[in-house]
Structure 1
């Protein structure tokens, strides 16, 4: 054994292994540079925010948007460093398509290699998004199944989510504000007739959504009739089987007869347990991704670009 330890060849092998692993450790933990966002990118982020929300972003919003963009670029850079673009079938197919568009020649492997050498993958937004998705999945390690106590805690925290709203089945007769006369007055004149079992089909004006409505929530009514209608229905506590009104809407006035009401109810824990498991896993994956990003940020330093 001592003789083996004294062998120079063994020493060279051990030193080589040490240098190999040490170099890998240094490369894995070395700081990597990433350019700060240029003014055009920052302006694009602001414009996107305005287009989506209809308002100017606050400084806090802009800081968050910039941080998210830098995180995406960091994930993309890390995916390239790990060569994820060289073994991903979606990326490879995209590179082949780009190679054909550029007129690159050769077999599929040669086209892909040429496209990568030209940096095509760095300017293709589809490839960029795919690489970011790969890194997000890489960051999300598998988790144990949640316990019932964890799910019950989540169930209690999300009570409003499991509320099934009351639903109404009803008929309505519409009196348009676009016709001569006040719609409320016209509705009141017809109310007595309808209570006397007059032919409903002959009363009122045509309405886009029809006369009969089954199992509609107050939110559904707001969408179809406007908030004034759903507010009036909610406040009235409408009697079953009787015509009442006028009920105002965004279009005029209505006479309404409620035929059935399904009261609001809370879904039970057992009923929503599969959904709770999905929510719990999503939360865990989000936490894992944020933790991974926090560690990754320690390895990247943002440097001022040429535009700064």
Structure 2
């Protein structure tokens, strides 16, 4: 057995095993080093609070603060991704902004663009200039949104089946109100008042006051239901035009009515094919941005120096 342990193959096997164990133990550390990190400092949180206070006049609630931190994290991830993909070097807006800043700083020196851009990056202007940072975040958002998929032929086919334009009636009428709060039998009193006048003559005078007044102009059926109660609109629709009619029951009592006109007008037209496609594109871009951010968040390690990260990253 002693000779076995002294054999070169045994030494080779032992060394190989030790290296394998060490490599496996080092894997979590290697993965941690390879994972990009976004840190939310206590200073970041305080700046978010101050900005919210200046814009709204009130301190953010706990829920609002979580939303602010989540947005801050997302923007930091998008900014880091823009740098990783080299968007800062390709974007003319970013380039022009940096050159403008550096030429102001070095107004007395004759430096070429490449030298100025190198100095700008060395000074951290990519991170500190809010215009540059916002531009890079927007470029990454647009990059994710551009992955949206829209089935235009299917949408075009469905758009051809949209309902035709609909119309609704607008009722104009006078009414005399008989209150159920003031009368034992308002329907009986309304019938008696109607029998005492010719239907084409002026309104009966025995009624009570009504909140909307004695004349209603241009009210749709659904609005009649809201103001007078269910069933009143159908009673108005069945009434002849130009003569006193009723009584019609409402949620408040009884009404004698004289419809003066019942004109029709078009309701909101169904969406056009262009509107359908635009809405679908916007919805698809929103979904592409959401799913893209989920993938990016999974690649980053978030370090929150303030409140618990789990609270900030809850969906």
Instruction: With the length of structure 2 as denominator, give the TM-score of the two structures.
Output: 0.49
Match of 1:303, SS state, is strand
Partners of 1:151 and 1:49 in 2: CA distance: 46
Match of 2:272, SS state, is helix
Match of 1:34, SS state, is strand
Tell me if structure 2 keeps the 8 A contact 1:85–1:131. yes
Q: 1:165 to 1:93 in 2, by over 3 A?
A: farther
Partners of 1:300 and 1:72 in 2: CA distance: 13
Deviations 1:10-58 (A, max 9, x none): xxxxxxxxxxxxxxxx99x93111111433133135426735xx89545
Residue 179 (structure 1) aligns with? none
Residue 143 (structure 1) aligns with? 149
Say whether 1:91 aligns with 2:94.
yes
Q: 1:63 to 1:108 in 2, by over 3 A?
A: same
Structure 1 residue ranges without an equivalent (≥5):
1-25, 169-230, 238-257
Q: How many equivalent pairs are there?
A: 206
Residue 79 (structure 1) aligns with? 82
Partners of 1:55 and 1:264 in 2: CA distance: 44
Residue 35 (structure 1) aligns with? 39
Deviations 1:177-210 (A, max 9, x none): xxxxxxxxxxxxxxxxxxxxxxxxxxxxxxxxxx
Say whether 1:65 aligns with 2:71.
no
Post-superposition, which runs of at least 4 consecutive aligned residues in structure 1 deviate over 6 A? Answer: 162-166
- TM superposition shift of 1:165: 10
Match of 2:151, SS state, is coil
Q: 1:49 to 1:66 in 2, by over 3 A?
A: farther
The one of 108, 111, 118 equivalent to 2:113 is 108
Aligned residues: CA RMSD: 5.0
Partners of 2:166 and 2:38 in 1: CA distance: 49
Residue 267 (structure 2) aligns with? 264
Partners of 1:265 and 1:149 in 2: CA distance: 20
Partners of 1:103 and 1:165 in 2: CA distance: 68
Q: 1:274 to 1:112 in 2, by over 3 A?
A: same
- TM superposition shift of 1:164: 9.6
